Amino acid sequence: MDIVPREDTDSTLTAEAVDAVLRRLARTRNQQDHALLEWLLRGDELQVERLHGYASMREYGARVFGFGPRGVEDRLRVARALRRLPRLNQAFAEGDVVYTVVRELCRVATPETEAEWLASVEGKTGSEVQREVAGRQPGDLPTDEPEPALVPHRVTLELLPDAYALLLAARERAVTSAGASVDDSTFVTHAMLAYLSGDGEGQAGRAPYQIALTIDAHRGAVIDAAGESVPVDDVTVAMACCDGEHLGVVDGGGPAKRASQTIPPKTRRQVERRQHHRCAVPGCSNSAYLHLHHVRHRSEGGDHHPENLVGLCSAHHRATHDGALEVSGRFSEGFVYRHADGRPYGSPIEGPGASVMRDAHQALRSMSWSEREARAMLERVRGELGPEADLMEIVRRALKSEPVGGVREDVVLYQRCA
């Protein structure tokens, strides 16, 4: 459908006609922005990024829409807020307000005050609205006196168990250091100042897992932090074993052994600086909390040589052990990054989706095949699979491709828990 009628493109157009077209385009753009927010939120709830083997919704937004680091997070925050703000949601859906204004109003408007705020910001730019909401709390009216120095900013975090345990451990240390209870603002202020002041440079060479992860025969794998035991999955265990600091047996009667790094500190510093402290996956610019990954796993004969090590952000490191991302090669030859279905990382889908191949990888792993064996089995049958191949077919073909006797005839379908 043409937004701009053909007759409106004539060179004899008046300024009034051009203005009318531009305003029509602006309204259409606002409506499309509203639709984008709704669909992004649905995609986040259904974990649509897994269909393509991406590590997070943030990466999905960067690759599909070109969003910056905060682009997806901001839009998801606004989309969630609009679900409880019917008048603002309707005005946005009809194209009456722009996204930048909606984004700021979602910080302060409530179902009881959204009508007043909509009337107050009419005709104002996003920057003007941003200044107007500054110093206001949710529930305040536009006529209320702002208090910039006293208004808290609410931050919502959705953390995986290992990240949650890190937060608990850091909070416990802050309380111990202060000798008293520490409020959220004090805790975050001290943590961020320590990070920004360069204290992390003094920790160069240390592995990222600096909290106690215990593998117990009865409890399974847990992280102990702030007096709370947080169960973690096999992927987290694999990540910690790949790049952690080992304390040895902690409940034995003998003397404690000296802690040892999985990867020697000098090797870690070399690899980190080689990669400029950034994740090596093409298209990922994440430089926070870099993990070192053994491309050829230690269980498969891999060593700590820099040629066999690649730096990954925590999301992509998890993706490698989860079967969604495959890294191969050596540093001097160039590492190769592929989705579970064999595509170069970030390329369009061809054949079975990455999520199906990832689930097939995990199904084989659940049958006690090693990561290397599971990858090799799927690689052998990849070229035989059409786009309609389902999980059961892929697993059966992979098992039959294994050059060993006694292929199992009964395959239990692996299903990821919601």
Pair 311, 354 in one domain: no
Pair 237, 280 in one domain: no
- CB-based burial, 78-104: b 16+ in 10 Å, e otherwise: bbebbeebeebbebbbebebbbebbbb
**Domain holding 122: CATH number?**
1.10.10
pLDDT of residue 318: 83
- Quick: pLDDT tens for 188-221: 777 776 665 554 443 555 665 555 566 665 656 6
Which alpha helices (DSSP H) does 46-113 contain, by range? Answer: 57-64, 71-82, 86-93, 99-105
177 found inside a domain? yes
Give the span between the Cα atoms of 203 and 188, in whole angstroms: 20
Tally helices (H) and strands (E) across the chain: 16, 9
227 found inside a domain? yes
362 found inside a domain? yes
Kindly report which listed range (89-93, 160-164, 257-261, 404-408) carries the lowest average pLDDT score.
404-408
Pair 87, 34 in one domain: yes
How many domains does the chain fold into? 4
Pair 279, 257 in one domain: no
Greater pLDDT, 300 or 395? 395
Residue range of the domain that includes 281: 265-339
Pair 17, 116 in one domain: yes
145 found inside a domain? no
- Quick: pLDDT tens for 112-126: 999 999 999 888 888
Give the span between the Cα atoms of 340 and 325, in whole angstroms: 6
Given 239, 261, 283, which residue is the final one in a domain? Answer: 261
Predicted structure pTM score: 0.56
- Quick: pLDDT tens for 266-290: 888 888 888 887 888 887 766 655 7
115 found inside a domain? yes
Pair 23, 111 in one domain: yes
Pair 299, 243 in one domain: no
58 found inside a domain? yes
Given 339, 368, 393, which residue is the final one in a domain? Answer: 339
Q: Say which residue the tokens 């006694």 belong to.
A: 406
